[in-house]
Chain A
Amino acid sequence: MGHEAVRQPITEAHTPQTIATSAQPLLNVQGLSVRFDGAPKGVNVVDDVSFSVSKGKTLCIVGESGCGKSVTSLALMGLLPTPPARIVGGSAMFDGQDLLTLTERERADLRGDRMAMIFQEPMTSLNPAFTIGDQIAEGIVRHRRVSKAEAMERALDMLKKVRIPAPEKRLRAYPHEMSGGMRQRVMIAMALANDPQLLIADEPTTALDVTIQAQILTLIRRLQEETGTAMILITHDLGVVAEVADEVAVMYAGRVVESGPVEAIFEDPQHPYTIGLMGSVPSLGRRQGRLATIRGTVPPAELMPKGCRFTPRCPFADTRCANDPPPLAEIKPGHRARCWYAPLEIHRGAAS
């Protein structure tokens, strides 16, 4: 069968490396900082972001809109619009290579091959002018030495894999002929076509209805289990995080404010922002009074405090917070929080 020929080299090519590195994280991002031209001095849109993902694991990045989730992932993929965006610091070790120092050509070779990405908007992320089959096969032809026909064969397999009904027909369909959920499946098929080691999914379900969202999440999770792909899932829905994450990084205004295993984050949140976030989500159980809210909004770049960026919205903040940025300190093994006063009940337990 056609796909055998395609898949053979893929596994061969990747197996030695994956085995060699499986002990360490597949991707290790340290101190990533991104600046946009014209932003006030010292205010990076992404500032000193560190996290890591291991093979077969899922890292969720959560945070408010505009906190830099997409910019972070685009920086890793090398898809940031430069200018105005500029990576000003940090490293991202992917399988022994620093993604941030690769040449444009090397990055392009990596993209869609060993790392792939799914975007938020299934409705607009597919090119309306080409058929689904063309668009999937294109990525395969780009990275594998296969003919167009073989690539189409592989594309068909992928469509089957993402459970698209009548895949033969869909291969020749145009994006507009499909619903949002179907398109998102196509996006997933496209991303996974070359068996990437790392999949970055930027809010893959935000635009979808709950029932469809559940379908897609289940699908992603199953595929991940099958292939052992590492995944970075970006979302702002804590429910989704709780369902799929192994590790969580909570971002606020361009910084990771808390990171750790998913249980730790949900059961033992340390950063005031994480706590406020949890309090803001209405419960599905019987109503329990008003929601606890985080006041105000993220300050605009020109008013960003020097210290902890959450200061203006934080009930616990004081002048120290405003002036000195707290480090991402380890509270428990693997659980870090960027707060001077974590754990709160110890530092802020008593009324001041």
Chain B
Amino acid sequence: MLRYIGRRILIAIPTLIIVSVLVFALQKLLPGDPVLTMAGEERDPQVLAYLREKYRLDDPIPVQYFAWISSALTGNLGISLRTDIPVLDLIMSKLPVTIELAIMAMIVALAIGIPTGIISAVKKGTTVDYTANVIALSGLSIPNFWLGIMLIMLISVRWKLLPASGYVPPTEDLWLNIKTMLMPAFVLGTGLAASLMRHTRSAMLGVMRSDYIRTARAKGLLSRKVILKHALRNALVPIVTLSTLLFGELLAGAVLTEQIFTIPGFGKLIVDAVFNRDYAVVQGVVLCTAVGFIFMNLLADVLYVLVNPRLRHAA
């Protein structure tokens, strides 16, 4: 197992290098001049020149890249051009928020996706199946930004049940924290629920067709037990894997939802940084999310092995 993880980590290194090059190249390709953005309304030419010099923006791009990557390797991800805050501090302060949102969204997604998936697999071809399908798919097909605003309008403005947006750290006020995260988690979660539901459904269908389900029934077990013990246990393997992958995506993917609910997480950070040409932040944060994503992939593989006795014992 350790060997395996070790090898996977080795494989991740070239991936990370490609990510860093890609991100670097991508934002160098972006139109616009970060210095112009930084220099403000007045655009003092002297200041422009100074900033250009300071951030070595006139160096050849490979030189810039190596300068950045070598300092990144020493743990220095640079300083936000916009706010002077070290990128590492930014990442550290946003990471818990992002993780919390991801976890809550995942809970919502699992709570919706898995039961509907099971029900629609068991009731395949019936109205229940179609209804569950349509409900789950509706989560996928409503754009997050729109659903978000709808919810704010209804729940916060009209009914005044939950705060409209913002973020309160759980250390400050746990209850308020949960209340503020509820809507964004719901918006994000419903989007994922559809894919979880579909995968649960097809995994369950696949498993329900398998011979050992017939064996379980031949033992006289009742349907409920067959479904919840024998079938679900096996269907869980792909679901767990998928969940970790989705979680990896969530770590950085909540761009619009964070925007709407003004949640100070990674998504909002990156988008703002892209629009402000805050290079150091874009690079640092994307690199960090990539690490998270790769880690989640690794975790997915490890979990896959762990929940799958066939592989666990081979280890």
B220 near A139: Cβ-Cβ < 8 Å: yes
* Contact residues in A for B52 (Cβ distance below 8 Å): none
Q: A108-B222, A142-B219 are in contact. Are A129 and B309 (CB under 8 A)?
A: yes
Q: How far is the CA of A79 from the CA of B313 in the complex (A)?
A: 32
Q: A142-B220, A142-B221 are in contact. Are A125 and B212 (CB under 8 A)?
A: yes
Q: Is A160 an interface residue (CB 8 A)?
A: no
Q: Is B271 an interface residue (CB 8 A)?
A: no
Q: How far is the CA of A116 from the CA of B211 in the complex (A)?
A: 15
Consensus secondary structure, chain B interface: helix
Q: A174-B310, A176-B309 are in contact. Are A113 and B220 (CB under 8 A)?
A: yes
Q: A176-B310, A177-B313 are in contact. Are A126 and B212 (CB under 8 A)?
A: yes
B309 near A108: Cβ-Cβ < 8 Å: no
- The residue that B218 contacts in the complex, of A116, A127, A128, with Cβ under 8 A, is A116
A 116-131 to B, binary, CB cutoff 8 A, 1 in contact else 0: 1101010011111110
A 94-105 to B, binary, CB cutoff 8 A, 1 in contact else 0: 000000000001
A 67-95 to B, binary, CB cutoff 8 A, 1 in contact else 0: 00000000001010000000000000000
Q: How far is the CA of A110 from the CA of B218 in the complex (A)?
A: 9
* Contact residues in B for A121 (Cβ distance below 8 Å): 211
A125 near B214: Cβ-Cβ < 8 Å: yes
* Contact residues in A for B219 (Cβ distance below 8 Å): 111-112, 116, 138-139, 142, 190
Q: A109-B220, A174-B310, A176-B309 are in contact. Are A127 and B212 (CB under 8 A)?
A: yes
* Contact residues in A for B210 (Cβ distance below 8 Å): 124
Q: Size class of B's contact patch?
A: 10 to 19
Q: Is A236 an interface residue (CB 8 A)?
A: no
A-B contacts, CB under 8 A, total? 77
A 39-67 to B, binary, CB cutoff 8 A, 1 in contact else 0: 00000000000000000000000000000
**Which residue of B is nearest A77, CB measured?**
B218
A112 near B218: Cβ-Cβ < 8 Å: yes
Q: Number of residues in A with C-beta < 8 Å to the partner?
A: 31
Q: Is B217 an interface residue (CB 8 A)?
A: yes
Q: Is B8 an interface residue (CB 8 A)?
A: no
**Which residue of B is nearest A136, CB measured?**
B219
Q: How far is the CA of A161 from the CA of B303 in the complex (A)?
A: 37
Q: How far is the CA of A130 from the CA of B310 in the complex (A)?
A: 10
Q: How far is the CA of A117 from the CA of B215 in the complex (A)?
A: 8
Q: How far is the CA of A116 from the CA of B219 in the complex (A)?
A: 7
**B residues 193-214 in Cβ contact with A at 8 Å:** 210-212, 214
* Contact residues in B for A125 (Cβ distance below 8 Å): 211-212, 214-215
Q: Is A234 an interface residue (CB 8 A)?
A: no
Q: How far is the CA of A110 from the CA of B220 in the complex (A)?
A: 7
* Contact residues in B for A138 (Cβ distance below 8 Å): 216, 219, 221
Q: How far is the CA of A110 from the CA of B221 in the complex (A)?
A: 10
Q: How far is the CA of A126 from the CA of B215 in the complex (A)?
A: 7
* Contact residues in A for B233 (Cβ distance below 8 Å): 127, 129-130
Q: Is A187 an interface residue (CB 8 A)?
A: yes
- The residue that A124 contacts in the complex, of B211, B217, B230, B309, with Cβ under 8 A, is B211
Q: How far is the CA of A143 from the CA of B222 in the complex (A)?
A: 11
* Contact residues in A for B133 (Cβ distance below 8 Å): none
Q: Is B177 an interface residue (CB 8 A)?
A: no
* Contact residues in B for A112 (Cβ distance below 8 Å): 218-221
* Contact residues in B for A110 (Cβ distance below 8 Å): 220
A79 near B218: Cβ-Cβ < 8 Å: yes
Q: Is B234 an interface residue (CB 8 A)?
A: yes
**A residues 292-307 in Cβ contact with B at 8 Å:** none
Q: How far is the CA of A77 from the CA of B219 in the complex (A)?
A: 10
B212 near A128: Cβ-Cβ < 8 Å: yes
* Contact residues in A for B313 (Cβ distance below 8 Å): 174, 176-177
B279 vs chain A, min Cβ distance (A): 49
* Contact residues in A for B222 (Cβ distance below 8 Å): 105, 108
* Contact residues in A for B212 (Cβ distance below 8 Å): 124-128
25 interchain pairs (CB within 8 A)? Answer: A79-B214, A79-B218, A105-B222, A108-B221, A109-B220, A110-B220, A111-B220, A112-B219, A112-B221, A116-B218, A116-B219, A119-B214, A125-B214, A125-B215, A127-B212, A127-B230, A127-B233, A127-B234, A128-B212, A128-B309, A135-B215, A138-B221, A139-B220, A142-B221, A176-B309
Chain B residues within CB distance 8 Å of chain A: 210-212, 214-222, 230, 233-234, 308-310, 313
* Further contacts, 10 of them, CB under 8 A, given A117-B218, A119-B214, A176-B313: A77-B218, A108-B221, A116-B219, A119-B211, A121-B211, A124-B210, A125-B211, A129-B230, A138-B216, A142-B220
